[in-house]
Structure 1
């Protein structure tokens, strides 16, 4: 396992947090920089071009291994990929989690105080959030279910407990997810966030009927995440503004599968202490 190895440069298309946090190495991958898919690949694998990091989307396992190796080289540590279930469990990374064949418990967030172990969450429309604090880093997978259930709050609480820091000293960065103009949801999402479905003036859950006139809303995951982070004392919050569904040539998007019929790959947001 790497031990504070020097990192290779991230691919120029990947997203890098715009924060002043020299104590960490962090980025979010895009579709660029891998070996999956391509015009010569089987038809069912063409939607995975090129840096698919997911093992359960029909990709050639050897391609996933190489793609993950490239991410590990760029982060300079060992990324621990989670068994994500849209929940709120936070895994504190230990050396055994990075061993070959390791099978950690399901979790949707991770924290690390070890420079050799990088937190990694995979997404393809859900919101990834990276955290940097004194002596600790974290990453959370925040789809609407996990966001409503408190995965961000649980991640910050775990970081504070592990490193003895307060919320004001923790920085958060919002990676790429489906944007508010595209994320159509139903009344169940409003109810999950404690909003009244009949009240149509919700700035972060905007009422917009669909083509059939059925009541639907557009959810702003970025805004919902910012509101929750601010409520627990975080002030240094950056990132956001992308839309994975609107930019299928740059980002993998689960919902875009309905457009071209090709299975989508998975991206990752990764962070480690230097």
Structure 2
């Protein structure tokens, strides 16, 4: 971790930059205290604007990140040619365009080509994962020679779901059953990281980095909707310099 963000450790080509913010270092107060970057969660707009300014300055961004209106679906947009920001993934081939997704338990996934000419950021909550948002992002980005990094998300031990969630996955791929562990009260503990790895492996991506975080159990570093309900949002970003 560096300052108020995590710098992904993955073997991307020179000129690729990425970061996943923590909740440290911002000016938001109350349930949003820290570096809340979400303008849609009830925080004071001036504080969100200051947090975003601090992020731009700290990362030396030449442009504002492309903030999406995330809808827990599979819509993917080209970040440098936006007409509608209602989407859960953004990609670009251009330099200076910052793809970003916001999360507070859902899984952020970064994608990068091994040549360094294509990058994408994906918001993968359980609904998007089940519906195929990662596959849609890969199709938009262009398959072949891709690697992935998995950012901070709720860990399996904290993510209890019902039968309907498990069935939404298992109906699609029987292999998804391995990502669920039954509890004593007949619920299920879902592993977002394992679900994403199954998807990525199935589409031919074997170079997968990151994972192992738990937003729910680490209140100092991460916002968590499941833990707090009213809370802020972190951002996971990728761009070509």
TM-score of the pair, normalised by structure 2: 0.91
Match of 1:185 among 161, 179, 194: 161
Distance in 1, Cα, partners of 2:234 & 2:205? 26
Unaligned runs of 5+ in 1: 1-9, 38-45, 98-102, 161-165
Does structure 1 conserve the Cα–Cα contact (< 8 Å) formed by 2:118 and 2:141?
yes
Q: Deviations over 1:194-247 (max 9, x none)?
A: 259xx9x943111113xxx3x200000000000100100111100000100000
2:206 equivalent to 1:235: yes
Distance in 2, Cα, partners of 1:75 & 1:118? 11
Alignment of 1:102-117 (within 5 A): 104-117=84-97
Distance in 2, Cα, partners of 1:218 & 1:86? 20
Alignment of 1:79-158 (within 5 A): 79-94=65-80, 97=82, 104-133=84-113, 134=115, 135-158=117-140
TM-score of the pair, normalised by structure 1: 0.81
1:175 CA displacement: 0.2
Aligned-residue Cα RMSD (Å) equals 2.0
Give 3-state SS (helix, strand or coil) of 1:226's partner. Answer: helix
Give 3-state SS (helix, strand or coil) of 2:157's partner. Answer: coil
Match of 1:24 among 16, 19, 23: 16
Give 3-state SS (helix, strand or coil) of 2:43's partner. Answer: coil
Distance in 2, Cα, partners of 1:71 & 1:114? 21
Corresponding residue number in structure 1 for 2:27: 35
Match of 2:216 among 210, 227, 245: 245
Distance in 2, Cα, partners of 1:203 & 1:92? 33
1:104 CA displacement: 2.2
Corresponding residue number in structure 2 for 1:194: 170
Give 3-state SS (helix, strand or coil) of 1:122's partner. Answer: strand
- Give every structure 1 segment of 4 or more consecutive aligned residues whose post-TM-superposition deviation is greater than 6 Å: none
- Matched length: 234
Larger Rg: 1
Q: Deviations over 1:11-62 (max 9, x none)?
A: 524111111112311010010121111xxxxxxxx12111001112221111
Distance in 2, Cα, partners of 1:222 & 1:265? 22
Corresponding residue number in structure 1 for 2:38: 54
Judged with a 3 Å threshold, the aligned counterparts in structure 2 of structure 1 residues 238 and 128 are, in CA distance, closer, same or farther, namely: same
Give 3-state SS (helix, strand or coil) of 2:26's partner. Answer: coil
Corresponding residue number in structure 2 for 1:100: none
Distance in 2, Cα, partners of 1:119 & 1:181? 30
Distance in 1, Cα, partners of 2:123 & 2:221? 20
